[in-house]
Amino acid sequence: MQWSQDVNNSKGNQVRIAFDGDAVLFSEESELIFKKHGLKAFEEHEQKNRDNPLQMGPFAKLLQTISTIQKKFKDEESPIRTALVTARSAPTHERVIKTLNVWGVRVDEAFFLGGSEKYEILEAFGADIFFDDQDVHLKLSSSVVPSAKVINKNVENTEK
């Protein structure tokens, strides 16, 4: 089956799925520290816990399932391509990479944006769908890719 290129910005015959990290693939633990105590406390927490894998978030099982499918194909032949698109940056990326390795999952591309806008990366990646928990990111991303909000009852959404 051939997909029409005018439906979205999809790249070829792969389904491209992009995920945010905290409170989506990973638990909300680190995001709550950031929201309550700020960037410095978040960075200190992540450095202190860099060798402790993050707990699974609401979409971790989906990523694991996709990874299981991907393992049945050579990289370039996989019908699914995944990306992690997160506001994290160095040095907090270290814990994320170690977590994915412990989980044994494959993420084809990882973007640690340090607060830069996600929508440009999503458009360049050719995402067919993007999952995030924050309205501020979804407002812009939805202009270039279908975007879905991940509801996490434990994270207080203080955005307007």
The residue that leads in pLDDT, 64 or 160, is 64
Residue 160 has pLDDT above 60, yes or no: no
* Domains observed in the chain: 15-149 (3.40.50.1000)
Give residue 9's pLDDT: 54
Task: Clarify whether 20 is annotated catalytic.
Answer: yes
Instruction: Kindly give the interhelix angle for 29-37 and 39-48, rounded to the nearest 10 degrees.
Output: 140
Give residue 20's pLDDT: 97
Catalytic residue (one of 6, 20, 51, 128):
20
| Non-local CB neighbours of 158 within 8 Å, separated by 6+ positions | 35
End-to-end CA distance of the chain: 41
Lowest mean pLDDT of 3-7, 20-24, 49-53, 122-126, name the range.
Answer: 3-7
Q: How far is CA 149 from the centre of its chain?
A: 12
| Element holding 148 (H helix, E strand) | strand 147-149
Long-range contacts of 6-9 (CB under 8 A, 24+ apart): 8/128, 8/145, 8/146, 9/123, 9/126, 9/127, 9/144, 9/145
- Contact in structure between 19 and 25 (CB atoms under 8 Å): yes
Long-range contacts of 35-38 (CB under 8 A, 24+ apart): 35/155, 35/156, 35/158
For residue 158, name the pLDDT band (cuts at 50, 70, 90): very low
| Predicted model pTM | 0.87
- Contact in structure between 19 and 96 (CB atoms under 8 Å): no
For residue 18, name the pLDDT band (cuts at 50, 70, 90): very high
Residue 82 has pLDDT above 70, yes or no: yes
Residue 94 has pLDDT above 70, yes or no: yes
